[in-house]
Amino acid sequence: MRAALIASLLPLLGLAAGCALLKPVEPPTVEASVELDAVPFFPQDRYQCGPAALATVLSATGLPVSAEALVDDVYLPDRRGSLQAELAAAARRHGRVPFPVAAGEEALVAELRAGHPVLVLQNLGLDSLPRWHYAVVVGYRAEEAHWVLRSGRERRRRESVRAFRRHWRGADRWGLVVLPPGQLPAVAGPRDVVDALAAAEPVLGAEAILPGWTQASARWPGDADLAFAAANGLRAAGRPQAALRRYRQAIANDPRHAAARNNLADLLLAYACVGQARAVLAPALAALDDDDPLRPVLAATAREIEQAEPAACRLENTQEELQP
Amino acid sequence: MLSRILVVFQLIVFLAATAALPARAAVVNTGEYLAAARAEQSLGAAGAALARADVQAQLTALGVDPQDARARVAALSPAELAQLNARLDELPAGSSVLGLIGAVFVVLLILELVGVTDVFSGV
């Protein structure tokens, strides 16, 4: 009875005492501290934490850039702030690949250990009265259980685990890892990596992104989309034999990958391997729905195969089935 | 009104330009494949062109130089473009904790004192 009374009063006490009596905060399960001292600092001007945070992570990749130079890339004067999508787009325009960070504190520490500072969105206000703010996580001190951020006008802002968690959760734990092409985040899923590299490819160019595709495909050899994208990049780079192997890998991973079958058939056809092209394309053409957006492309490839003159195939190992 | 006319004009220019490109119908590039595979991003080519022009007009209306707006929109992914086109006004614009006014300031000051927020220690 008494216990119940005390329990019912606890929330009130907690409020009065600044929430100090709420249940204790579990720090992330991390043993050792990590801090990236070399990450530069750009003290922000009024409202302009977006350009400052972006300059911080771009500079950390060795790019000489100032926060002022990024204002015209990301700042929205009438909103007095910057949008998340525009920070990612601006990173691409400066030749870097932005990846969404995995939404967990252990993932943040893993990125820091890999030398990657993380640009995060924080809500410093309330859910109903948000104050959005960008900062860059550069360290976690395990012994004091606090995070270290480049934030606002503070080079080394320290936030307790409780405060940081509230600020970050209030912004859906959104963050970006910004890397030179060819490097991948420490923690990520293949789907996020596919989307991040594909978004960067039209801006940075196929040649710049190719190392990213091959690295990602090596990290997730069983992912059909990554093998397909790597194959497209290899073909564009004039490496048909390597592209052939990657297309085969994509199809071995997912025999129903119609786009991989189509592009492999087109590659085989370009090197006069007509019979092989027909054999690769047939199952995809048979399995595709009539209203599938890829259908016109596959039909066009099939027509080209039927019109092709017989000739000697100029690729090696065209029949080889690679295991994932 | 003027921005709508501009959008339509840009769309016509875009469609004319893309129609003139030599078609290479037999290959599916990575971006096209993902647009088809990720249903939520599939605006279609004409839809994407319209969204691009529309977001560009919105950025210009928010005070961005038209030349900058064009370059900024060009670097957005199809998913980001669809997101901005659907709800640019509601998306968080990270800024800073300076420049609070009136009642908002008083409310936040009280919340700060009881430890609920960290607005004033933020900067």
> In whole numbers, what is the pLDDT of chain B averaged over residues?
76
Q: Which residues of A28-52 are buried (b: 16+ CB within 10 A; e: fewer)?
A: bebeeebebeebbbbebbebbbbbb
Lookup: tokens for A315? 């690729």
B28 and B60 belong to one structural domain: yes
- Pick the range with the lowest mean pLDDT from A14-18, A72-76, A184-188: A14-18
For residue A273, give its domain range: 190-307
B74 and B98 belong to one structural domain: no
- Sequence-distant (6+) residues with CB within 8 A of B8 are none
* Cβ distance of A198 and B97 shorter than 8 Å: no
A199: pLDDT confidence band, cut at 50, 70 and 90? Answer: very high
* Cβ distance of B76 and A202 shorter than 8 Å: no
Lookup: tokens for A140? 């976690």
Number of domains in chain B: 2
CATH number of the domain within which A167 lies? 3.90.70.10
Which residues in chain A have their CB less than 8 angstroms from residue B108's CB? 125, 129, 131
B83 and B98 belong to one structural domain: no
Whole-angstrom distance, CA of residue A86 vs CA of residue A51: 10
ipTM of the complex: 0.84
Query: Which of B75, B77, B94 is closest, CB to CB, to A134?
Result: B94
B60 and B113 belong to one structural domain: no
Sign of the alpha-carbon torsion through A87, A88, A90, A91: positive
B100 and B122 belong to one structural domain: yes
Helix (H, G, I), strand (E, B) or coil at A64: coil
B6 and B41 belong to one structural domain: yes
> In whole numbers, what is the pLDDT of chain A averaged over residues?
90
A122 and A209 belong to one structural domain: no
B22 and B56 belong to one structural domain: yes
A35 and A96 belong to one structural domain: yes
Closest by CA to A110, choosing from A174, A161, A184, is: A184
Choose the final residue of a domain: A115, A147, A179: A179
- Pick the range with the lowest mean pLDDT from A155-159, A313-317, B2-6: B2-6
Residue A175 pLDDT exceeds 70: yes
Interface of A with B in 92-131 (CB under 8 A): 92-93, 121-126, 129-131
Which residues in chain A have their CB less than 8 angstroms from residue B123's CB? 44, 151-154
Mutate to test the interface with A, among B24, B28, B64, B120 (most CBs of A within 10 A): B28
Question: Is the CB of residue A19 less than 8 Å away from at least one CB of chain B?
Answer: yes
* Cβ distance of B122 and A76 shorter than 8 Å: no
